[in-house]
Amino acid sequence: MYFNEKRQGLAPFVNLRSDVGFKAVFADKNNKDILIGVLNMILPSEARIDDITEYSDREQRRDVPYGKKTVLDLVCRDKSGRTFVVEMQAAEEDNFFERCVYYASGLYHLELSDGERYKGLRPVYVVSFLNYRRRCSTWSVWTRTTGRSSSRCRQRKRTTSSKGASITHQDSITWSCRTGNGTRGCVLSMWCRS
């Protein structure tokens, strides 16, 4: 009885930095306005979302019998058919960029059915919230023209690359991987924001 009385005076809070709390808020279809607002603050202007029309299966199928199974935190589509993967990463991981590429590639190749043309491919965006301060390592851009990967590092406080919006929370760093035809010769580009 005492515990219930104490709880009535408290506002319900959830830790958005935990995997469970993150999914409880952002993967709930009733909160899609919150998700759209957060993504629109982070994504470049050409990727703005008006409405989320579909929440997709978070488990990616294997292409080969012994292929790696991936389970994503949140996968959704907007009304133009673009796919957005949203991840909360609690623990630091050295190969996080490669993981983002793997996620985006897995969903990107599912865009077309047999007989469809490649011009029908729509962008896949991966936005990850990291619950740690990422050390300045590298991020890569694979370009269609050279077929090579180049690596660079950018770290800026309170600002983003030229394509994004400001993020004011100092503890948050967001990575965004984008695939698609509208990237001026890049099949995949990535922004690091702090």
Residue 120: pLDDT over 90: no
Which residues sit opposite 11 in a β-bridge? none
Measured distance CA(33)–CA(188) in Å, rounded: 27
| Band of residue 21 on the pLDDT scale cut at 50, 70, 90 | confident
Q: Which two tokens stand for residue 18?
A: 């935990």
- Torsion angles phi and psi, residue 3, rounded to 5: -60, -45
Tell me what the mean pLDDT of segment 12-37 comes to.
Answer: 86
Predicted pLDDT of residue 12: 66
For residues 34 and 26, the answer to whether their CB atoms sit within 8 Å is yes
What are 139-162's pLDDT values in tens digits?
Answer: 444 444 444 444 444 433 322 222
Alpha helices in the chain (DSSP H): 2-8, 19-26, 32-42, 96-108
CA 93 to chain centre: 16
| Band of residue 164 on the pLDDT scale cut at 50, 70, 90 | very low
Predicted pLDDT of residue 98: 81
Which contiguous run of DSSP H or E holds residue 88? strand 83-89
Predicted pLDDT of residue 35: 92
Which carries the bigger pLDDT value, residue 141 or residue 12?
A: 12
Task: Find, among 175, 180, 177, the residue nearest to 194 by Cα.
Answer: 175
Measured distance CA(194)–CA(1) in Å, rounded: 45
Task: Find, among 19, 164, 160, the residue nearest to 86 by Cα.
Answer: 19
Percent of the chain with pLDDT over 70: 58
What is the average pLDDT score of the chain? Answer: 68
| Band of residue 105 on the pLDDT scale cut at 50, 70, 90 | confident
Measured distance CA(176)–CA(126) in Å, rounded: 5
In angstroms, the Cα distances linking 98 to 10, 22, 32, 92, 165 are: 42, 22, 28, 13, 24
| Band of residue 1 on the pLDDT scale cut at 50, 70, 90 | very low
Residue 2: pLDDT over 70: no
Residue 177: pLDDT over 70: no
Please tell me which of 6-15, 16-25, 57-66 the model is most confident about, judged by mean pLDDT: 16-25
